[in-house]
Amino acid sequence: MSGYVDGFSFALGGRQVSVQDSVAAGHVTTGAADLLAAGFRQHHMCEPGETAYDLARSAVAGLGGERLTDIDAIVYATCLPANACLGNGAGFAGTGDVKHLMDFPASRLQAEFGLDGAAVFGLTQQACTSALGSIRVARALLAAEPDLNRVLCVSADRFPSGAHYEQAYNLISDGAAACVVSRSPVGYRLLAAHQITNGAMVTADDDETVGAYFTYTHRLVCALLAKAALTAADLDWVVPQNTNVKAWQILSRLLGIDPARVFQDSLPDVGHMISGDNLVNLAYLAARRTVRPGEKVLLVMAGYGMNWQGLLLEKA
């Protein structure tokens, strides 16, 4: 069954902070020179009181009303489990009633946007790969249930107060991203998906994460291309996560990909938006109208857990 993904929208935390200011404020541990050399200029942090749900609401609203008609399901993904619930411990502590721990943001979205016919699904254990995982789950739902036609995918996360806005030497932004997966031949056709999980690395430190990144990403991409009976030469665009710009200079050589085909133009100003980087970069590509029908796009993401996940798309 062909599934198509379209309508890339995103929202960022309300406070825009330069690398230099974040270093001075102690929001990160790596020095400004190294972060700037990695390609980062600024990132976005939520204002006090601004929640992951606020970001999700803004990203979904950015899709526009037409794309939100006849939604049959919502797949809501979070990297940090705490962002999968709007409740806090105070209500539970005062009453002992666990319903205070089941205030789910996907249900709030369904009600707020009037998506009354939409069933709700949640992903919380795929870390930074969860936005790609939501698209994969959406396509599987369409394949398994012929009466479903349109699935809203949402990913939203914000770091808690006091957190370091850096992971594996990458500058982090609070943010959310959304798209729609459907049977309608618009946007991009989903050609193949692949995921690798190495649970033994769940507590990997930053250096161990960087050390494993290249081996597992190479393995992921090769397996994904094989699923679609394609080679690296068939790729027109690579849209990775917003990690150190040197990472894909190295991976391009390992995979035999022209570095000019790697698109992560949002990196300097958006930073690593947890699990939404691929969708943000696709939104940048869409704004520039640079992808032609029939061109093939590789999306790649790595995350803690440890997880590596990728999608192959073809422009409709």
What domains appear along the chain, each with residue ranges and CATH number?
4-182 (3.40.47.10), 188-315 (3.40.47.10)
Confidence of residue 100 (pLDDT cuts 50, 70, 90): confident
**Per-residue pLDDT, 253:** 96
pTM of the model: 0.95
pLDDT 10s digits, 246-299: 999 999 999 999 999 999 999 999 999 999 999 999 999 989 888 999 999 999
The residue among 93, 254, 63 whose CA lies nearest residue 177 is 63
**Per-residue pLDDT, 99:** 86
Name residue 226's amino acid: A
The mean pLDDT of 222-239, rounded to a whole number, is: 97
pLDDT 10s digits, 162-219: 999 999 999 999 999 999 999 999 999 999 999 999 999 988 898 999 989 999 999 9
